[in-house]
Amino acid sequence: MTTTATVALTLSCIGAGRLGSTLCRLFAEQATQPLQINQILNNHLESATRAVQFIGSGEATESIQQLVPADLWLIATPDDAIAEASRALVDAGVLRAGDIVFHCSGVLGSETLANTVSTTDSYRASVHPVHSFADPMSSLSHFAGSSCAVEGDDQACARLGDLFSAIGGNCFALQGGHKALYHAATVMACNNLVALLATSKQMLAAAGIDDQLQAKILAPLIRQTAENTINNPDPATVLTGPVSRGDSHTVAAHLEAMAGRPQWQKIYSTLGEAAVDIARQQGYASDDELEQITALLTAASKPDH
C-alpha cells in the first residue's frame, strides 16, 4: 500500500516583531497543519536574524528583492505600514494565484490588502488574536484559548481558521465593517484597563499606601470583579458601590478628594456616568439619587472645573 506524504505549506513573514515571531514559532511547532517557515523580512538583518533564532527555522532577509514564493504571507508590521508592505510584496513579483496574504491588525480589515487581490489573484484576510504578545516566551505557553477574529476572502478564512485553530486559537467570523468597533472594545478591556488600574494605584500612592500594600488591596478585588463580570453577562447583576446604591455624598467626597487632579476626576466621572446607566437597571437607587450623582459627575468632568 502506497501512502502519500502531506506536503507542508510554506509561510513567510514581513515584520516579525513580538507578534510575528511568536505566531511563526507556534505555526512551525504544531503538527496538525504541516507548515514550513520560509523567510523572515525585517527592516534590519540583525532583527530578522534574532527572529529566526527565536522561531527556530526560516531564513533571515532584509531585502524585498530576495523574497521567494510562499503559500502564506503574514504581514506583521505596524498598522500604518501594512498597505505599503503589501504593495512592495506585489512589486516583488513573488505572489501567485491562490496564495494567501494576511495581517493581524485589530482595527484594519482585509481591504487594506486589496491591491494583492486585484493584481495577483491571491486571497486576502485578517486574523486578530485577542492576546497580549508583550512577552513572546510567555505567549508560547499561554496563546492556546485566545479568541481570534477572522475576516476576508472565504478561501483565506478557511485556511487560516484551520491554522490558528491548530495552535489553540478560538476562531470566530467578524464582519470587516465592524472591526474598528470590535477592536475598540478589546482595547477597553485590555489596554485601557491597564491605564485604569494604574490610575487606581496612583490614587492609593497619593493616599500614602506603598506598593506592597497596594497589591494586597487591589489583587483580590480585581480578580473577584473580573470573575463576576465574566461569569455574569448582565452587568446589572455585578455592579456595586456608591453609584449602585445612590450614595451621592460618597461620590461628592471622592471628587473632592481628587481636587487638583483633573485627569483623575475626568476618568472617575466618565466611568461613573456609565455606571449610572447600569444602576438605573438595578433599581436600588431612586431616580432623584441618580440625578444628583449625574449632576456631580457632569460638573466635575467640565474642562473649566
The model's pLDDT over 250-301, given as tens digits with 9 standing for 90+, comes to 999 999 999 999 999 999 999 999 999 999 999 999 999 999 999 999 998 8
Cell of 110: 482585509
Lay out the sheet containing 147-152: strands in order across: 59-61, 35-41, 9-14, 72-75, 100-103, 123-129, 147-152, 170-173
What's the average model confidence in pLDDT over 75-82? 95
What pLDDT was estimated at residue 4? 47
Say how far apart CA 15 and CA 165 lie, in whole Å: 23
Give the CA distances from residue 112 to residues 57, 79, 105, 159, 184, in Å, rounded to whole numbers and listed in that order: 29, 10, 10, 19, 18
**pLDDT tops 60 at residue 43:** yes
Query: Alpha helix (H) ranges present in 16-113?
Result: 18-29, 45-55, 82-91
The model's pLDDT over 95-127, given as tens digits with 9 standing for 90+, comes to 999 999 999 999 999 999 976 666 778 999 999
Give the CA distances from residue 252 to residues 239, 243, 275, in Å, rounded to whole numbers and listed in that order: 19, 11, 15
Determine what percent of the chain is predicted with pLDDT higher than 90.
88
Which has more pLDDT, 145 or 8? 145
pLDDT band at 218 (very low <50, low <70, confident <90, very high): very high
Which has more pLDDT, 1 or 218? 218
The reply to whether CATH 3.40.50.720 applies to domain 9-178 is yes
The model's pLDDT over 121-174, given as tens digits with 9 standing for 90+, comes to 899 999 999 998 989 999 999 999 999 999 999 999 999 999 999 999 999 999
The answer to whether the CB of 179 falls within 8 A of the CB of 129 is no
Query: Alpha helix (H) ranges present in 81-166?
Result: 82-91, 114-120, 136-142, 154-166
pLDDT band at 305 (very low <50, low <70, confident <90, very high): low
Determine what percent of the chain is predicted with pLDDT higher than 70.
95
Secondary structure element (H or E) that encloses residue 288, with its range: helix 287-301
Domain ranges for the chain: 9-178, 189-301
For cell 498597505, what's the residue?
83
What pLDDT was estimated at residue 304? 63
Question: 8: which DSSP letter?
Answer: P
